[in-house]
Amino acid sequence: MAEYGTLRVKTGLAEMLKGGVIMDVVDAEQARIAEDAGACAVMALERVPADIRRDGGVARMADPQRIREIQEAVTIPVMAKCRIGHFAEAQILEALEVDFIDESEVLTPADEEH
């Protein structure tokens, strides 16, 4: 019987990524280029978070449709970031079945106080 979502599967996937290159991508074309270049995984982003904050915007999780397009474009694992403490973003990423969720300090905090 196949295993899905078990600790063994999750740690096995993490082990496969060790020593590999994880590329930040903002669309399916960049994801395909990264895969063709040998990336072991891609991180789906809306834009580079530092650029968004520099321009006065809010860096948050990438658009779910964009993430789905990236997932459909590649065979390597797709990761995505959510804001620290923003459980709704994390739940969306879980529903999209991304391979890893990065609760990231580089995105704009959901709540500056907590």
Which string of DSSP letters, residue by residue, matches 37-75?
TT-SEEEE-SS-HHHHHHTT----PPPHHHHHHHHHH-S
Q: Cβ distance 23 to 44 under 8 Å?
A: no
Per-residue model confidence (pLDDT) at position 31: 98
Going across the sheet that includes 22-25, the strands are 22-25, 41-44, 78-83, 100-104
Question: Which residues are tagged catalytic?
Answer: 81
Residue 113 has pLDDT above 70, yes or no: no
Give CA–CA dist 51/23, Å, rounded. Answer: 17
Residue bearing the bigger pLDDT, 21 or 6: 21
Per-residue model confidence (pLDDT) at position 58: 67
Residue 61 has pLDDT above 80, yes or no: yes
Q: Is 104 exposed, middle or buried (0-12, 13-18, 19+ CB in 10 A)?
A: middle
Q: What is the pLDDT of residues 65-98, one digit of tens each?
A: 999 999 999 999 999 998 887 889 999 999 999 9
What residue segments make up the domains of the chain, in order of their start?
15-104
Average pLDDT, integer, range 14-32: 91
CATH number of this structure's domain 15-104: 3.20.20.70
Residue bearing the bigger pLDDT, 65 or 1: 65
